[in-house]
């Protein structure tokens, strides 16, 4: 996904390839709905797909953000649904997600309640790694400071 590997979220760039008889209805629908990809977005997709170096750079950025936030989230007492991939940390304090949302809001940290995604997420919240490095560091500091620890 270019939204993840190239930080192009929101561009909604995609293409369909295949037997014309199978995809012509999709093409026609999108064309007459005004859903065709603008030329600048097409050019951005071409550039992104042709450049592996930026993908590795983005991975390094997200890896570092994950490390910074993960340490603070664990120190605060969260259990993490471990994953080495993705742009989020799924975490639980073993309580209703809304209680956790409120605790984080009191610290000035925005998390998404897991219940938004599925009933199985009712005790989880989602921390995003898509914030800036500065904001990730600030969130980690707020979690750490809430414990009375130096960050």
Q: How many structural domains is the chain composed of?
A: 2
Any domain includes 151: no
The H-assigned helical ranges of 33-132 are 39-49, 52-76, 97-106
My answer on whether 45 and 16 are in the same domain is: yes
Any domain includes 35: yes
My answer on whether 135 and 64 are in the same domain is: yes
My answer on whether 67 and 123 are in the same domain is: yes
Mean pLDDT of 97-122: 95
pLDDT tens, position by position, 72-92: 999 999 999 877 778 899 999
My answer on whether 21 and 71 are in the same domain is: no
pLDDT tens, position by position, 130-139: 899 999 999 9
- C-alpha–C-alpha distance, residues 74 and 81, integer Å: 11
My answer on whether 37 and 109 are in the same domain is: no
**Structural domain boundaries, residue 67:** 55-146
């Amino acid at each position: 996904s270019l939204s993840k590997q190239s930080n192009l979220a929101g561009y909604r760039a995609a293409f369909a390839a295949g037997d014309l008889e199978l995809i012509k209805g999709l093409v026609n629908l999108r064309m007459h709905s005004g859903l065709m990809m603008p030329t600048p977005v097409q050019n951005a997709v071409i550039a992104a797909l042709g450049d592996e170096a930026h993908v590795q750079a983005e991975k390094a950025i997200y890896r570092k953000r994950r490390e910074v936030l993960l340490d603070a989230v664990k120190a605060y007492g969260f259990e993490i649904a471990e994953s080495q991939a993705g742009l989020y940390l799924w975490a639980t304090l073993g309580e209703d997600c809304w209680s956790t949302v409120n605790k984080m809001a009191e610290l000035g940290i925005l998390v998404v309640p897991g219940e938004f995604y599925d009933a199985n997420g009712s005790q989880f919240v989602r921390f995003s790694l898509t914030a800036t490095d500065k904001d990730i560091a600030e969130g980690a500091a707020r979690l750490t400071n809430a414990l009375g620890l130096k960050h």
